[in-house]
Amino acid sequence: MRKNFLSFGNILICAVLAMAVVFAAFPSCAAAAVGMKVRPGLGGLYKTDQPLELMVTVENSGPGFAGLLRVRHYDERIPDVSRFIIDVNVPADALAQYRMVIPGELAAEMPVVELVSGDLVLAKSRVEGAAVSGGRVALALSGEIMGSGLQAWLSKSTDSKINLKYLSPGELPADSLVLNAADIIMVDVSSMTALTDGQIRALKNWVYPGGTLVLFGGAGAGEGGVFSEISPVLVTRKKMVGGELAGLRSGGPLEVASGELVAGNALAVDTGVPVLASRELGRGQVFYCGAASRDLGSEAQGIWSALFGTTSDQGNVTGKLKRSSLPHINIQDNLTQASSYIPGLAGPPLPVLALLWLVYAAIVGPLLYFLLRRADRRDWAWALAPAVALVVAGCFYLLAPGNRLQNYLSQTLAIVEIFTPELAEVQAGASVVASKGGDFILNVAENMYALPAGNNGDPSIAPALVHQGGERISIDFNGIEYGTLKGVYAYGLQRGFGSIEGSIYLNGSTIEGDLVNKTGLDLRDSSLLLGGRAVKIGEFPAGGKTHIEETLERWDGIVSSPQTLLFGMSGDDQAVGPFFRERQMISSAVSQGYGKLAGIQFWGWHDGPPGVIEVAGKPGLKEEHGLVLVKQVINMDLKGEFHLPAGSIIPYSVDDNGRLGYGAEGRLMMTGRSQELIYDLRDAKIGSDCRIDALDFQTVQGQVPYSAEIYNRQQDKWEPLPGEGRKIVADELSRYLDDYKVRVKCTRTGDIYEPYPVWPGLAVEGACLL
């Protein structure tokens, strides 16, 4: 008996051990063997209006398994508008890293990242970081930069509003999209050599939408260097200079990287060497500093003031004010809202309807009567006439637009801003109507970041699943009701879009030149915008060529909005009015802080879907609508003597709050009693290759009474602005013109408190230095 009991016990123990071995092979029992850490990108700093990269590290000491990473709200009782997921295959006994991208506004709620296999949560971790609520984010990719005089300068410059962060080169994302959370990135020779090809490519792309890249010691700016194509100076050798760096530094001789200025402007020259230079690329800029950061200590305060664009330090001789800014990613963008205005499906052709009615009239009239009379069955008319009417009504029903749509109806509105023939920024808003409801998936183009819009956290609506995988994002909508509209916003940089080739010349006060459409899109309502002026082009087919020749008329004192310049005032807020979508798209393009028109800008429209967002699923009849706005700054050359009329350069406000805006009548207005404005001559492509002979401020009668003053940089004081007919010429120019900028202060003298247009127009006379 005891022997049988022992035998049974051994069998039981073996069974338990066998079950343990079996269960150990499954993730449910391997959960204890899985650990996970989540680290936000850019060293934990992020902005709520920009995407945030999450680096998820999974440490698995058990068997491998397949699962997914998902991000949800930390409180499960709060419904998610969307959840972000990525499929993972965790290897056995290994450490694996995965990359996810989530909205910054979601990160501010410190959500939870979960590692899930089947229905089991194996690990989870909160997302913790520091949201930047104001100012600019500056990243130093070298400890040497952090150990320079930068931090000492920041401690003294209380109005700089700069959040400085050290980030090792290995932590820098290789995705230009997630770099948007940084405004300034500083690189030196040591950190440059540690960057990968992907990181370098991301840095170059990141500059164009509004980033500022600083190259210390000529990092990568030599012949064949990684940044030589975007650096304002081409480095050829090392050279000793006096060390004062044009007054930006106090000290002895200094060895700097020396070379030739190939683009942009030299901001400081020492012993004939450009030691500080800048170059604009798209909406961004690249700064070149020949000196190494280790040589820029407390005695080089002027360098930091010049690089970071503040005026708190008197050593800021350049007065460089940063105006470029990166796009704000927001799912409630005007594009998404405007895309919900979907043109109706086209009905059947009128001849078909007329023929159908004629056939019906013939059948229920003489034909039916003739047949029934011959058959002597005229009493059947009581049944046959309604039957024929039902058949005809059914035909009309099947021909109706809503019933011809078997799958979905979509519209995508996209703004494409071309930086180079190989690089363009794409913003898109799409609305999709699922005619039969159910589930559908939206596939987004490669290298595009996308977010769903809508449902507002309704707990009865299943959250959209943003599925990230490789270079493509898909968004799954489940349980959609009949006729429900869903919106999506997408943003990204696309390559190989083409461009509008050619250049425009300013001859006296006449704009002329030739342009060729190399975008591959047939464009309509095309125009050139220069400040508050528009030159109409009209139809501009793909591959087409157009000649421009138009004399700019005298300024009338009004700076109109692009909507007004291109499409007039009628129907501005009417969803049923003409050009409603175009107006909404223009509003989206100019209302995000970087929409100030600089230089000559080409704007044209293409009718048709841009191919950014597509609906996957069952085949069937579908309707796809779309509209594309193509934008590009056109190169403008100045031939010989030129006269740029007033109104071609729109001033911008020094105030960070941007107290300039377009009013109800489509005019650029100013609020407040006093406002300091800056006219930047480089907005009209007037730069170092031009000789400026005169500045002429012109006013228009009938405006709101105001007084105007101009800043004298040499005496550091404000002076009354010269009146009508008096030009600032010759040696007077050096008093007021600083780095191709003129500062003017306008003060209202009347008792009118609503927004008003008051600034004078600036005309510029000069000559191109051939």
Span 732-736, mean pLDDT?
89
Is 664 a residue whose pLDDT tops 80? Answer: no
The pLDDT value given to residue 26 = 46
Q: Is 264 left (phi over 0), alpha (psi -120 to 50) or beta?
A: left
The pLDDT value given to residue 191 = 94
Tell me, what DSSP letter sits at residue 413?
Answer: E
Residues 6+ apart with CB under 8 A from 706: 746, 747, 748, 749, 750, 758
Span 561-566, mean pLDDT?
81
**For the chain, what is the mean pLDDT?**
81
Instruction: Give dist(CA 687, CA 245) in Å, integer.
Output: 21
- Record: fold of 407-494: Immunoglobulin-like (2.60.40)
Compute φ and ψ for 410, nearest 5 degrees: -135, 155
Q: Which token pair is 222? A: 């030599």
Radius of gyration of the chain (CA): 33
> What is the three-state SS of 649-706?
CCCEECCCCCCEEECCCCEEEECCCEEEEEEEHHHHCCCCCEEEEEEEEECCCCCCCE
Residues 6+ apart with CB under 8 A from 95: 57, 58, 59, 60
Span 157-177, mean pLDDT?
85
Highest mean pLDDT among 14-23, 268-277, 435-444: 268-277
Split at pLDDT 50, 70, 90, the class of 746 is confident
Residue type, 287: F
Tens of pLDDT, residue by residue over 486-538, are 889 999 999 888 999 998 887 777 888 999 999 999 999 999 988 778 889 99
Highest mean pLDDT among 365-369, 382-386, 546-550: 546-550
Are 24 and 63 spatial neighbours (Cβ–Cβ below 8 Å)? yes
Split at pLDDT 50, 70, 90, the class of 188 is very high
The pLDDT value given to residue 316 = 35
Span 120-148, mean pLDDT?
88
Lowest mean pLDDT among 12-26, 96-110, 205-219, 424-438: 12-26
Split at pLDDT 50, 70, 90, the class of 238 is very high
Is 404 a residue whose pLDDT tops 60? Answer: no
C-alpha closest to that of 523 among 444, 590, 582 = 582
* Residue bearing the bigger pLDDT, 388 or 158: 388
Residues facing 533 on adjacent strands: 530
Q: How many CB atoms lie within 10 A of CB 85?
A: 20
Which run of H or of E encompasses 4?
helix 2-24
Span 84-108, mean pLDDT?
90
Span 548-567, mean pLDDT?
79
The pLDDT value given to residue 690 = 82
Q: What percent of the chain has pLDDT over 70?
A: 80
- Strands 533-540, 523-530: pairing kind: antiparallel
Q: Which token pair is 202? A: 């991301």
Measured between alpha carbons, how far is residue 401 from residues 343, 405, 430, 624, 669 in Å?
Answer: 12, 7, 21, 13, 45
pTM (two decimals): 0.83
Split at pLDDT 50, 70, 90, the class of 69 is very high
Domain spans in the chain, listed from the N-terminal domain onward: 27-128, 136-308, 350-383, 407-494, 500-638, 650-768
The pLDDT value given to residue 324 = 47
The pLDDT value given to residue 687 = 74
Span 694-711, mean pLDDT?
76
Q: Which token pair is 485? A: 């509209």
**CA pseudo-torsion sign 480, 484, 490, 496:** positive
- Strands 623-634, 408-420: pairing kind: parallel
Residue type, 79: P
Are 698 and 765 spatial neighbours (Cβ–Cβ below 8 Å)? no
Compute φ and ψ for 243, nearest 5 degrees: 100, -10
Tens of pLDDT, residue by residue over 592-607, are 544 456 678 899 999 9
Measured between alpha carbons, how far is residue 337 from residues 94, 345, 566 in Å?
Answer: 46, 19, 21
C-alpha closest to that of 216 among 288, 306, 296, 298 = 288
* Residue bearing the bigger pLDDT, 525 or 625: 525
Note whether 27-128 and 407-494 share their fold: yes
Residues 6+ apart with CB under 8 A from 232: 261, 262, 263, 264, 265, 266, 274, 277, 278, 279, 286, 288
Lowest mean pLDDT among 28-42, 302-316, 442-456, 539-553: 302-316
Q: Which token pair is 172? A: 């820098």
Split at pLDDT 50, 70, 90, the class of 5 is very low
Is 660 a residue whose pLDDT tops 90? Answer: no
Determine the angle formed by the axes of helices 381-399 and 350-362, rounding to 10 degrees. 170
Are 463 and 80 spatial neighbours (Cβ–Cβ below 8 Å)? yes
Residues 6+ apart with CB under 8 A from 182: 42, 137, 138, 139, 206, 211
Instruction: Give dist(CA 230, CA 279) in Å, integer.
Output: 8
Highest mean pLDDT among 75-84, 364-373, 391-400, 505-514: 505-514
Lowest mean pLDDT among 232-236, 493-497, 501-505, 633-637: 633-637
The pLDDT value given to residue 225 = 93
Instruction: Give dist(CA 402, CA 396) in Å, integer.
Output: 11
Lowest mean pLDDT among 14-23, 573-582, 723-732: 14-23
CATH (residue range 136-308):
3.40.50.880
Instruction: Give dist(CA 312, CA 320) in Å, integer.
Output: 12
Instruction: Give dist(CA 49, CA 327) in Å, integer.
Output: 9
Tell me, what DSSP letter sits at residue 326?
Answer: P
Q: Of 3.60.21.10, 3.60.20.10, 2.60.40.10, 1.10.10.10, which CATH number belongs to 27-128?
A: 2.60.40.10
